[in-house]
Amino acid sequence: MIILRTHPEHVPKVVALSMHALASSPTISTGDLILISFAVAKTTDGKPPIRYVMEFVKIRPDRTGETSREIWGKKWPYILHGQNCRKLAQPFDIKDHQVSTHNYGQGGPFVYVDARDEAVLVQRGLLA
């Protein structure tokens, strides 16, 4: 499972298309869950940042940049394709539920979720 940090202005297209543009390619397998998180520094509504979930299908290079420019207005090297993107019944902040010492605040546009934290999210029904 990974968390994709997304600029608030890009979230509607990410959700509608079940696609995300990235500068680098994460290591992820078909069917893995992807949590769509608003970039916390960019939100002002006070709601928890993780608000959507989808299942990973594939990632492909956007060699010409045509797809990423058309959708997000900027060339990105990779396009991640998902499926079944849906709004979470209860948005959350991973920091409020984690049991590991993993630092979710640092890093780039994606961060891997510690297996122990993933188990807690499942146990608490937060992925529905």
Question: pLDDT band for position 39 (50/70/90)?
Answer: confident
Q: Rounded distance, CA 86 to CA 21, Å?
A: 18
Instruction: Enumerate the domain spans of the chain.
Output: 2-123
pLDDT tens, position by position, 60-116? 999 998 899 999 999 999 999 999 999 999 999 999 999 999 999 877 789 999 999
Mean pLDDT over 26-54 rounds to 88
Q: What is the CATH number of domain 2-123?
A: 2.30.130.30
What does the DSSP assignment read for 95-126?
Answer: GGT--S----SSSSSEEEPPHHHHHHHHHTTT
What's the pLDDT at 43?
Answer: 66
Q: What is the pTM of this model?
A: 0.91
